[in-house]
Structure 1
């Protein structure tokens, strides 16, 4: 019995068909990316702080960034609908 491998004793052991090394690798990659995302979020926050201290409207900058991801036709449709709603409300 002493010569038998113990379940879970090796790094590459499989439990329920899942290789421990593969699972660990995936988890560690996700953890690294989450750390990078946190660092990037901090950098973005710093840039928005810089914009605000320069007197720029951060809310408008965020809207423009969001709009730049959209197709021009979608932006036009959105603006047309928003204008229609404003006119119907008298604003």
Structure 2
């Protein structure tokens, strides 16, 4: 029900509480992800490269190809020819 100021306090409270719960869940998940990265690092994997692999897997093949083409163009413009595909 709306209070005299025109704010539906119960509805607002429900939204705030839902957001707070989701923020807490997000924190727990974020902590879990950090633990997995730490475990991978402890096993000898390069975390920086692992993060890049995760990022690339989120993209569609044509998006990755376009990004690589632009990166190659920029690298050539900076005199770093051939560096984009090497690694």
Instruction: Write out the 4+ residue segments of structure 1 that deviate beyond 4 Å after TM superposition.
Output: none
Tell me which residue corresponds to 2:3: 14
- Measured against aligned partners, the alpha-carbon deviations of 1:42-78 in whole angstroms (never above 9, x if no partner) come to 0000000000001001111111111111121110121
Relative contact order: is structure 1 or structure 2 higher (C-alpha 8 Å, sep ≥ 6)? 2
Gaps of 5+ in 2: none
Aligned residues: 80
In the superposition, the TM-score normalised over structure 1's length comes to 0.75
Structure number having the greater strand percentage: 1
2:21 to 32, 51, 66: 32
Q: How does 1:70-85 map to 2 (within 5 A)?
A: 70-85=59-74
Taking only aligned residues, the RMSD between alpha carbons, in angstroms, comes to 1.8
In the superposition, the TM-score normalised over structure 2's length comes to 0.78
Distance 1:15 1:35, change over 3 A: farther
